[in-house]
Structures are given as C-alpha cells and as structure tokens.
Structure 1
Amino acid sequence: MRVREAMSSQVLVVGPEHTLRQAARMMSERRVGSAVVVDPESHGIGIMTERDVLNAIGAGLDCDVERTSAHLTWDVVYAGPDWTLEEAAASMVRGGFRHLVVLADAEVLGVISVRDIVRVWAGQRAAASR
C-alpha cells in the first residue's frame, strides 16, 4: 500500500504567530496530533506536534504567549505519496518521528502518522484472517 492511500488529506495548517494554546485548541478540535506550519517569510514548511506542546507546558512556558514558530521542527522529513508504508515507517523510525508531511512538487498533500500506518496494517491482518 502507498502513502497516498493511508495519509490524512485533512491537514491542519497554522501560522508561525499562532500561540501554542491556539494551535493546541485547533489540533484538539480536529482530533489531530500535528499541525503544518507555513511561514512564507522564513523556512517554508515546518511541523508542530502534540509532543512539542507537551514539552513547552512541561517546561513551564506560557501557552498564551509562546508562538508556534519557537516550538516546531523546520527540518521536516517529507514522504512522497508513492512511498510504500514500509518506507514511511522506516523513515519515522530512523528520524524518531511519529508524523511525516506528504509532499508532491512542493505542495502539501497530507500527513501520515504512525497511527495511520498501524490502522492500515491492523486492517490488513484482520482481513487476511477472515
């Protein structure tokens, strides 16, 4: 199976000036574990995850003051839509990531998470055992 078949195409995009609370609220409302951060004046595309928010809170930072731009990963590892799920999983393991932004021709197509991969693999195993 390919990444395009398992990824979520409903991508939450936030700006670098959103506060952590705003980003966390949007992530919670949409029930997603990451947000793509687009900064046209800077690095381009970054990703902020629930772990980034958790680390900021754990460090005692004020989520109403802290901006997403200070708590995200700019060194994003991108997946291609034609990658296999095995390639995406291997990339996640190598980098210690739980989410990969899916890009094609510099356009964000979606995000694939460990949860997406496990969901597909578990469904395939269940179907095979029937």
Structure 2
Amino acid sequence: MSTEPRTDAATRVVVSYPADLSDWGRRQVDRSSFRAFLRRTRETAQEGDVWEEFVGVGCCGNTLDVPLRVERVEGGSTVDADTAFDFEVREACGIEGSWRVQSAGGPSTANEPPGSD
C-alpha cells in the first residue's frame, strides 16, 4: 500500500450556509462531529454543489435541514479522511427552523379552522 498522498483528494472544502441560519444551527454545523459526518457521507465535492443536510432536531422536535453550498475546493475533488471543511456565510435564503413547529403557522394548526384551539 502506498504512503504517498492521493493526488485526487481534496485538501480543503469551503462550504457556505445561509446568513439566516440560527445561532443554534451554526453551532451544529461548526461541530467537529458534523465535519466528520461530511467526510464520511460525501465522496466528492465540486464548486457549486448544494447539499441539503440534516443538522439536528431543535428543542421543539422540528428538524432543521440546511442547504450547504460548496464554494471552493482545494486539491482534487475526492473527499477523504484528511479533507478539511471550513464554513462561511452567504446571503439569506428564507430558511425556517426552531420555534416554527409551535407557532400559529406551524404544521399542526395550519389546516384547522379559526378558533378550533
């Protein structure tokens, strides 16, 4: 087995998330375990790729899926165990999360007639 580095391996991938991602969501994305998850679940990365990623379940049981966009790839396109992931912020995209599940416009009350609560 060769000990030389793979020439097709990405050394660094810069991924952006929307500016309207909550502080909680940003903390989830910034965790080393999330970076490890990306290394395990992504085989390749190309500039412009968009990955809808589940980042956790908030305190209300509402899931948070975040559109991550690959901004830059250094080295090759293959993601491996040594690929570093860095994050930056891009324009807002109307992402919803956190307390929506408990709000009046949330999924449990959206189809109920007014005054049924």
Q: TM-score, normalised by structure 2?
A: 0.27
Structure number with higher relative contact order (C-alpha < 8 Å, ≥ 6 residues apart): 2
More strand by share: 2
Q: TM-score, normalised by structure 1?
A: 0.25
